[in-house]
Amino acid sequence: MARPIWKGAIAFGLVNIPVELHTAVRDSRPRFRLLHKKDKSPVSYERVCQKEGKRVAWEDLVKGYEYAKGRFVTLTKDDFRAAALEKSKAVEIQDFVDPADVDDRYFETPYYLLPGKGAASAYALLREALVKTGRIGIAKIILRDTEHLCAVEPIENALVLTMMRFEEELVDTSAFEFPKRTEARAKEVDIAVQLVEHLAGDWNPEQYKDEYRENIMAIVKARMKGEEIEMPAGSPERPSNVIDLMERLQESLSTARAKGKGQRAQGRKGNRAKGKVRKAGKKRAKVA
C-alpha cells in the first residue's frame, strides 16, 4: 500500500477517530521536459535577477508580496512563523450539512481517509451515520503548514476527504454578464428538453476516454520503436455562428429519435435471442 501523505484523526464532538490520508486521484497525462534540440540534453532553470540579469544564489532570495505593479513588501521567516496556525493533527468537523446545499464550485481535490490502527469500528460508525443522515462533514485540516477547508463524505465503503475552496476564492457571478432566462424562447426550450431527454443515460465514467492522452502515447511508443504514425483526421470543426437555432434543435432531435429506434430494435433482437437460449436451457434441465 502507498505511504500516507498525512496521519491524524477525525474529530467531532468528543469523538476522535485515527485516520490516514491517501491520494484518491492520479495525473495520467504524460509529462514532457524541455530539451536542447542539438543534443537532447535537459534544460535547467536558473534564478535570474530581472534588473541585473545575473543569477541569484538561494541564500540571497527573500519572499515578497506584490501589492501594486512593481511594488513589493518583503516578509521574513519570523513573519511566516508569526502567521502560522497552531499545528493540529485533526480533521476538525465543524458542521454536518446537506450536500445539496453546497455549490459544486467549492469542491476541489479528493483524498481517501483510511482508518488508523484499531479505529475500524469507529470509522465504520461515522460512515454509516453519514449514509443514514445523508449529510457530509465540513471540516478544517492543516496540511503542510497550510489550512484547508474540506468535506468528509461516504462513497461506497470509503470515507473521502475532499479539499474545498474558501468563499473568497470563488469569483462572484456578478462580475460577468450572463443571458437572462427570458432570452430563451419557450418553444425552443421545449424542443431542447426533448433532445436532452432522448440523449439521457446512466453515468458510466468508463466510456469517457482521454483521447488526447491516447494519441500522444501512441506517438511516443512509435517514436521509441523508430516508427512513424499517422493519426486519423479529427472531426470537422463545428460552426460557431448558429444561424437558425430552432432548425438545429429539430435536426438534432430527429437524429436522436432515429438512433433511439435503432437501439430499441437491436434490444428486441437481443431479447428474442436470449429468450431462445433460456428455453433451450430449460429443455436441457428437464432431460438431465
204-253 tens-digit pLDDT: 988 888 888 888 888 888 888 888 777 666 656 655 555 566 677 777 77
Contacts of 118 (CB under 8 A, 6+ apart): 18
Q: Count CA within 13 A, CB hemisphere, residue 259.
A: 10
Greatest Cα pair distance, the chain, in angstroms, is: 94
pLDDT for 138-175, tens place per residue?
A: 999 998 878 999 999 999 999 999 999 999 999 999 98
| Of residues 253, 214, 244, 247, the one with CA closest to residue 231 | 214
pLDDT at 244: 66
How confident is the model over 74-92, as a mean pLDDT? 85
pLDDT at 269: 53
Residue with C-alpha cell 443522515?
133
Lowest-pLDDT choice from 38-47, 136-145, 221-230, 269-278: 269-278
Contact, 88 vs 145, CB < 8 A?
Answer: no
* Interatomic CA distance for residues 175 and 159, integer angstroms: 36
pLDDT at 268: 56
* Interatomic CA distance for residues 145 and 6, integer angstroms: 12
* Interatomic CA distance for residues 87 and 91, integer angstroms: 12
